[in-house]
Protein backbone atom coordinates (compact mmCIF):
# COMPACT_ATOMS: atom_id res chain seq x y z
CA UNK A 1 0.00 0.00 0.00
CA UNK A 2 1.31 3.42 -0.92
CA UNK A 3 -0.06 6.52 0.76
CA UNK A 4 0.13 10.00 -0.71
CA UNK A 5 -0.75 12.94 1.52
CA UNK A 6 -1.69 16.35 0.16
CA UNK A 7 -3.51 19.54 1.06
CA UNK A 8 -1.12 21.21 3.45
CA UNK A 9 -0.30 24.88 3.30
CA UNK A 10 -0.19 28.18 5.11
CA UNK A 11 -3.32 29.46 6.81
CA UNK A 12 -4.14 32.12 9.37
CA UNK A 13 -5.27 31.19 12.84
CA UNK A 14 -8.98 30.46 12.84
CA UNK A 15 -8.90 29.24 9.27
CA UNK A 16 -9.44 25.81 7.76
CA UNK A 17 -7.55 23.27 5.71
CA UNK A 18 -8.47 19.88 4.32
CA UNK A 19 -5.83 17.19 4.05
CA UNK A 20 -6.23 14.16 1.84
CA UNK A 21 -4.46 10.83 1.83
CA UNK A 22 -4.82 8.69 -1.26
CA UNK A 23 -4.10 5.00 -0.97
CA UNK A 24 -2.89 3.00 -3.94
CA UNK A 25 -1.96 -0.62 -4.34
CA UNK A 26 -3.73 -3.42 -2.50
CA UNK A 27 -6.64 -1.95 -0.60
CA UNK A 28 -8.18 -3.31 2.53
CA UNK A 29 -11.61 -3.05 4.03
CA UNK A 30 -10.67 -3.64 7.65
CA UNK A 31 -8.20 -1.99 9.94
CA UNK A 32 -7.56 1.68 10.54
CA UNK A 33 -6.32 4.77 8.80
CA UNK A 34 -4.97 7.64 10.82
CA UNK A 35 -3.29 11.00 10.87
CA UNK A 36 -0.28 11.85 12.99
CA UNK A 37 1.66 15.08 13.18
CA UNK A 38 5.13 16.21 14.14
CA UNK A 39 5.86 19.75 15.20
CA UNK A 40 9.42 21.13 15.15
CA UNK A 41 11.43 19.74 18.04
CA UNK A 42 8.67 17.37 19.12
CA UNK A 43 7.89 13.71 18.65
CA UNK A 44 5.30 12.58 16.19
CA UNK A 45 1.91 12.31 17.85
CA UNK A 46 -1.56 10.96 17.17
CA UNK A 47 -4.21 13.25 15.70
CA UNK A 48 -7.13 11.12 14.52
CA UNK A 49 -8.05 7.65 13.31
CA UNK A 50 -10.95 6.00 11.55
CA UNK A 51 -11.92 2.36 11.54
CA UNK A 52 -12.43 1.20 7.98
CA UNK A 53 -15.15 -1.25 8.93
CA UNK A 54 -17.87 0.82 10.52
CA UNK A 55 -16.36 4.29 10.27
CA UNK A 56 -15.79 4.80 13.98
CA UNK A 57 -13.59 7.81 14.64
CA UNK A 58 -11.09 8.67 17.35
CA UNK A 59 -9.38 11.98 18.11
CA UNK A 60 -6.65 13.45 20.22
CA UNK A 61 -8.10 15.70 22.90
CA UNK A 62 -6.27 18.68 21.42
CA UNK A 63 -8.20 18.48 18.14
CA UNK A 64 -11.56 17.10 19.25
CA UNK A 65 -14.38 19.30 18.03
CA UNK A 66 -12.17 21.07 15.49
CA UNK A 67 -10.91 18.25 13.24
CA UNK A 68 -12.94 15.63 11.41
CA UNK A 69 -11.56 12.47 9.85
CA UNK A 70 -13.53 10.79 7.10
CA UNK A 71 -13.07 8.17 4.43
CA UNK A 72 -14.21 7.81 0.85
CA UNK A 73 -13.93 4.11 0.16
CA UNK A 74 -14.79 4.52 -3.50
CA UNK A 75 -11.76 6.77 -3.93
CA UNK A 76 -9.54 4.98 -1.39
CA UNK A 77 -9.00 8.34 0.27
CA UNK A 78 -9.04 9.48 3.87
CA UNK A 79 -9.48 13.17 4.62
CA UNK A 80 -8.81 15.35 7.62
CA UNK A 81 -10.92 18.49 7.77
CA UNK A 82 -9.24 20.96 10.08
CA UNK A 83 -11.23 23.95 11.32
CA UNK A 84 -10.50 26.68 13.84
CA UNK A 85 -6.81 26.14 13.33
CA UNK A 86 -4.37 27.35 15.96
CA UNK A 87 -0.69 28.17 15.80
CA UNK A 88 0.00 25.03 17.82
CA UNK A 89 -1.45 22.93 15.00
CA UNK A 90 1.60 23.81 12.92
CA UNK A 91 3.33 20.54 12.04
CA UNK A 92 4.06 18.04 9.34
CA UNK A 93 1.02 15.81 9.03
CA UNK A 94 1.39 12.15 8.12
CA UNK A 95 -1.24 9.64 7.13
CA UNK A 96 -0.90 6.03 8.14
CA UNK A 97 -2.71 2.76 7.56
CA UNK A 98 -2.90 -0.62 9.19
CA UNK A 99 -4.82 -3.78 8.50
CA UNK A 100 -4.05 -5.30 11.87
CA UNK A 101 -4.10 -2.53 14.47
CA UNK A 102 -6.14 -3.16 17.57
CA UNK A 103 -8.19 -0.44 19.20
CA UNK A 104 -5.96 -0.14 22.25
CA UNK A 105 -2.98 0.68 20.03
CA UNK A 106 -4.39 2.98 17.35
CA UNK A 107 -2.91 6.08 18.99
CA UNK A 108 0.61 4.70 18.70
CA UNK A 109 2.93 4.85 15.70
CA UNK A 110 3.93 1.22 16.03
CA UNK A 111 0.40 0.10 15.15
CA UNK A 112 0.77 1.33 11.57
CA UNK A 113 2.79 -0.43 8.89
CA UNK A 114 2.16 2.03 6.08
CA UNK A 115 2.99 5.74 6.06
CA UNK A 116 2.65 8.62 3.67
CA UNK A 117 5.37 11.18 3.07
CA UNK A 118 3.92 14.01 5.14
CA UNK A 119 2.46 17.39 4.27
CA UNK A 120 3.35 20.68 5.98
CA UNK A 121 0.65 22.67 7.75
CA UNK A 122 1.63 26.12 8.97
CA UNK A 123 -0.79 28.25 10.98
CA UNK A 124 0.16 31.87 11.41
CA UNK A 125 -1.02 33.72 14.49
pLDDT for 46-104, tens place per residue? Answer: 999 999 988 999 999 999 999 999 998 888 899 999 999 999 999 999 999 998 889 99
Number of H helices, E strands in the chain: 0, 11
Predicted pLDDT of residue 17:
98
d(CA 99, CA 111): 9
Q: What is the widest separation between alpha-carbon atoms in the chain? A: 41
d(CA 49, CA 103): 10
Positive or negative, the CA dihedral 91, 113, 25, 82 is: negative
Amino acid sequence: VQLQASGGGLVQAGGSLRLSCAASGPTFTSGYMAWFRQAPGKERGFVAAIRLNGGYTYYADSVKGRFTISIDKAKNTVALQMNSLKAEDTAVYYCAASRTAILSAIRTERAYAHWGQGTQVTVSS
